[in-house]
């Protein structure tokens, strides 16, 4: 009986010692956890740098750099500078976001041969969206650029007025100094797709199009009756009215010189150089004097004009005596002066 009591006591002592040992292990574990948590509050004590990602990171430009989206803490200035300049990847288009993960940051650090394992990264999430900053470029700014360009380069007839309607949409561009350039060699008329180049800080950012209708309003002479082809037109046969055209038109400004039609002209049709021409000084088939001179020798023969001509122009005439064709300048006294070499 006494032996059984001694065995029970031995077992109780062993159990007590085992229990106290468990409490000791638990105590040591809790102390180690506390020490680890205390160490996390000051990671630079055991790490070379700490990278704290901003809650809402944003960048300007085409590239995401770590220094733009995070706060860099390090006692090593050289390491801090490298982390600041570290390129994480391409930025999204202005106004859009690109997701960057902590894994990507560590990969970029390894690629740049930085001590990635000794750098703490604190991020609000495993992956964060990085916004590309932007500025709004209004449709009004694009329209004004087209209007200024047309006003500067459009060549208009006397007393004509440009009538320009421009439609464009709003655009988004990176922050910076914005210039808008019209990418046309010369103004186009009618319905036009106007190419525009948007430059930011001196660099071409993008090309867009504005739709435009370019018309011209100008005074023109209009026929008050119909004319057959080749019929002469006088000031009594026209009236001056203001019309709107899809492009500038050129026509006679006054009626000091005679005009004739080059085609059938209906009443109400504008008189332009497409349907009238100056009345020739000589007409085809009329007789002229052909004059040829070489040194002291002067030859004059009768000739016939082969086509309508005007004074000062080079015309063709047939020698009525020989039948040969010569070319010379028509003079004011209805002679054809032929140069002889």
How many Å apart are CA 168 and CA 109, to the nearest integer? 44
List the alpha helices (DSSP H) in 55-154: 66-69, 77-85, 102-111, 139-153
pLDDT score of 233 more than 80: yes
Between CA 84 and CA 77, with CA 128 as vertex, the angle to 5 degrees is: 15
**CB burial of residue 271 (10 Å; 0-12, 13-18, 19+):** buried
Asked if the domains at 46-133 and 287-339 fall in one CATH topology, the answer is: no
Alpha carbon 109 to its chain centroid, in Å, reads 38
Please state the φ and ψ torsions of residue 258, each to the nearest 5 degrees.
Answer: -70, 145
Q: In this predicted model, what pLDDT tens digit does every residue of 312-325 receive, in sequence order?
A: 999 999 999 899 99
pLDDT of the residue at 33: 44
pLDDT of the residue at 61: 84
pLDDT of the residue at 36: 42
**In the structure encoding, which two tokens stand for residue 184, read together?**
């046309």
Q: In this predicted model, what pLDDT tens digit does every residue of 94-130 receive, in sequence order?
A: 999 999 999 999 999 999 999 999 999 999 999 999 9
* Domain range list for the chain: 1-41, 46-133, 136-279, 287-339
pLDDT score of 216 more than 80: yes
pLDDT score of 155 more than 70: yes
Domain 287-339 in CATH 2.30.30.760:
yes
- For the chain, the C-alpha Rg in angstroms (whole number) is 47
Q: Using an 8 Å Cβ cutoff, are 71 and 88 in contact?
A: no
Q: In this predicted model, what pLDDT tens digit does every residue of 64-98 receive, in sequence order?
A: 999 999 999 999 999 999 999 999 999 999 999 99
pLDDT of the residue at 25: 46
Average pLDDT, the chain: 87
CATH of 46-133, one of 2.60.480.10, 3.30.365.10, 2.40.37.10, 3.30.499.10: 2.60.480.10
Q: How confident is the model at residue 44 (pLDDT cuts 50, 70, 90)?
A: low
pLDDT of the residue at 261: 95
**In the structure encoding, which two tokens stand for residue 313, read together?**
């122009």
Share of the chain above pLDDT 70, in %: 87
């Amino acid at each position: 009986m006494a032996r059984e009591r001694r065995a029970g006591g031995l077992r109780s002592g062993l159990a007590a010692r085992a229990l106290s040992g468990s409490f000791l292990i638990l105590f040591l574990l809790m102390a180690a956890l506390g020490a680890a948590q205390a160490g996390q509050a000051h990671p630079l004590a055991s790490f070379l740098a700490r990278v704290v990602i901003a809650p809402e990171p944003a960048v300007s430009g085409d590239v995401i750099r770590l220094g733009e989206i995070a706060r860099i803490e390090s006692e090593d200035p050289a390491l801090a500078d490298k982390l600041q300049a570290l390129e994480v990847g391409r930025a999204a288009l202005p106004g859009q976001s690109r997701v960057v993960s902590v894994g990507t940051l560590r990969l970029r650090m390894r690629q740049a041969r930085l001590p990635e394992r000794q750098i703490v990264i604190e991020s609000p999430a495993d992956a964060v969206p990085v916004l590309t900053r932007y500025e709004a470029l209004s449709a009004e700014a694009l329209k004004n650029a087209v209007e200024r360009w047309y006003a500067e380069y459009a060549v208009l007839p006397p007393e004509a007025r440009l009538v320009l309607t421009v439609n464009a949409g709003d655009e988004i561009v990176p922050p910076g100094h914005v210039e808008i350039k019209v990418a046309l060699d010369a103004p186009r008329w009618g319905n036009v797709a106007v190419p525009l180049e948007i430059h930011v800080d001196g660099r071409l950012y993008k090309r867009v199009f504005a739709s435009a209708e370019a018309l011209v309003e100008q005074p023109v002479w209009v026929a008050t009756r119909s004319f057959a082809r080749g019929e002469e037109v006088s000031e009594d046969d026209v009236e001056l009215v203001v019309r709107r055209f899809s492009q500038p038109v050129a026509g006679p400004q006054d009626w000091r010189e005679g005009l004739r039609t080059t085609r059938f002209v209906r009443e109400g049709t504008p008189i332009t150089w497409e349907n009238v021409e100056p009345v020739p000084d000589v007409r085809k088939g009329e007789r002229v004097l052909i004059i040829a001179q070489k040194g002291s020798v002067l030859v004059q023969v009768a000739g016939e004009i082969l086509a309508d001509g005007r004074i000062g122009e080079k015309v063709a005439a047939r020698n009525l005596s020989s039948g040969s064709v010569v070319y010379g300048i028509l003079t004011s006294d209805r002679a054809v002066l032929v140069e002889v070499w």
